[in-house]
Chain A
Amino acid sequence: MAARPNTINSSGGVSLTGVRFRYPRGFELNIPAMEIAGGEQVLLAGPSGSGKSTLLHLIAGLEEPTQGEIHIAGTNIFQLRAGARDIFRGRHIGMIFQTFNLLQGFSALENVMLALMLAGYASHDQRARALAALDRLGINEPDARVEALSVGQQQRVAVARAVAGEPCVVLADEPTASLDPANATTSIALIQEAARNSGAALIVTSHDPSLRSAFTRVIEVAA
């Protein structure tokens, strides 16, 4: 199997120090310190509007903190220039969304291959690696357009896309918010297993208290 390009500290997790983020309307998210070890699985809990998603976006480098430092696998991501931070995100962070955010018009395979391309995998590695990831997650129609797949299959494609590049950390933003309790449990187990298999730390946000039992560590977030 081809090595992940430009791997930094694959066992490294996520570290936040003195992070503050001020919203335009004046609220402030304050995270004095947070350590998530490599391979650890954490639930960020809290009511809607508490800042869980913002915290995830800060860790992904999509939002810039007002102050503080965020290290991913040992790299202070906000010391990187914007372009370098984008490339870092593609290579070391996988993201899963409530509505999956798959690219319409692309097949399941292409959605995963695209993530691998942006993660820096050579074109000859992309197809095999994407097919393997989809196969592990039970997608047996990789060439089907994503809009033709069921909701459950779409979520599996989204998970495959997040983990196929073997990231250091997988961020899942309210991945079960639109599912019924039975499917939510199955879904979170799928994500946890995929992250575990790829050796990535997993940070999940959810306002659903029933998910707490699935995680050994729960961090309460309050703005």
Chain B
Amino acid sequence: MNDMIIVIRSLSARRLTSAVTIGMVMVAVALLLVLLSLREAAAQAFRRGTGNVHLLVSADASPLVAVLNGLFYANAPANPIAWSKYNEIRESFPWQWAIPTQLGDSFRGSPVMATDAAFLRDFVPVVGSPFAWEVGGAFEREFEVVAGAQAARAHGLHIGQKIVLNHGTSGSREGGHEHADHPYTVVGILKPTGSAHDRALFTNLESSWIIHAEDRRESEAGAGEEDHEHAHEHEHDHEHVAAADLTDADKLITGILLRLPTRPGSDASASIAPQMDRLRRDTSITVAQPAQQIGRLMAIVGDVDWLFLAMAIVVLVSSAISILLAMISAMELRRRQVAVLRVLGASAWRVFALAITESTLIGLVGALLGVALAVVGCELASALLARRIGMVIAGAIDGRSASMVVAGAVILAALAGVLPAVKSYRTPVARHLRPLA
């Protein structure tokens, strides 16, 4: 027999109340830890996705939207950039590379980026970790496609498989129209990068330009036929366009990824700001510095997640209050128990310590269960976020945070036990030994 058994027996005598209060502490601790962990993991995931791009050019409404659309596949950019503009920008400065990108098509909800070979070769999605091949290799000719790791897994893609892309992205107005005339062949599958690029597919620009050129010409021909009272109905069905037939009007892109020359081993360039200022004078385009925009985004999101953190802390404090209330509501039973313990030789300080130990134990057990729940919660939240937004936000419970949150929960629980402990200490023994009325 020891004091801990007395405490455990006291808790088990009020099994339901004890379980509910432990549950409240558990949920509060888990919530706090998951939020802390995902907050950091989300920031890292966003920082990862921008890779080694210095500047991003698009025709989106704002730099932040440009980055979210162009590098995180949030939506297909609404406005195109002409190929001539790309050439103008590419030739305006000795960039290390200038990669054109076009977004707008999708495969079963996964975004498809049309780009050139430099994207898979020179763009590094996670600093220090360039794209690597799980199997196959880069596209080399029209209608070949490379799948990101998650897209390949989600759709069960394999090398040599023929797939048909959709015009528009999932949820966009254009979504649903298939480019059935031009099936693509899967030629490569990338290894996971932990960035949004894992859920995308990649093909070359010419393929995309060809199918859109055919679409446009078909639609223009259709309009013409209507004007001529359907005189040549279906005459222009399946008018195929070759790469050589593409005009400047067909060659539209939605973004340009730019990297300035840097010294070996360095990612920074002193020319970023001047080049950005120069490009921004062109009002037909939006220029964004991805790292800076992600910093802005995290600052905005940071305000919101502080709100969530504050809510989690409120839940933690309210769980401490529930410990206090549970112990106070059990006071009549406790007073009799305290009176008996005092008769048997327990000092007032000892019964005070027993009450504090009881509330502390509730806090400790709840907090440890909360850590376990947080580990599971992080896994679930990561899986959910990966499925919903296609980003690997792998929240891991950091030992230091977990220790601090557990210590905080235990201290709060111990403090919650002070009032019941004082009441125990002051229990008039003789009065509570009398038979209950």
Contact = CB atoms under 8 A, between A and B. Distances in A.
Nearest to A97: B433
Contact of B348 (A86, A114, A178): A86
A173 B435 CA distance: 11
Size class of the contact patch on chain B: 20 to 34
Interface stretch (B71-79, B244-252, B335-343): B335-343
A82 B429 CA distance: 13
Interface residues of A, number: 39
A53 B435 CA distance: 12
Nearest to B5: A110
Contact of B1 (A82, A95, A117, A120): A117
A62 B1 contact: no
Given A57-B430, A97-B433, A106 B9 contact: yes
A63 interface: yes
Interface string B331-358: 0010011011111111111100000000
Interface string A84-124: 00111111000101110111111000100111111110010
Contact of A105 (B13, B339, B344): B13
Contacts of B348: 82-83, 86
A89 B1 contact: no
A60 interface: yes
Contact of A103 (B340, B342, B350): B340
A101 B336 contact: yes
Most buried by B among A53, A87, A103, A120: A103
> What is the predominant secondary structure among interface residues of chain B facing chain A?
helix
Contacts of A178: 435
Interface of A: 53-54, 57, 60, 62-63, 82-83, 86-91, 95, 97-99, 101-106, 110, 113-120, 123, 126, 161, 173, 177-178
Given A110-B5, A161-B344, 14 more contacts: A53-B430, A57-B433, A83-B347, A83-B348, A87-B347, A91-B345, A97-B433, A104-B333, A110-B9, A113-B1, A114-B6, A116-B1, A118-B346, A126-B1
28 contacts: A53-B430, A53-B434, A54-B430, A57-B430, A60-B343, A82-B348, A83-B347, A83-B348, A86-B345, A86-B346, A86-B347, A89-B343, A89-B344, A90-B344, A90-B345, A90-B346, A97-B435, A101-B336, A101-B340, A101-B343, A101-B433, A102-B340, A103-B340, A118-B345, A118-B346, A119-B345, A161-B344, A173-B433
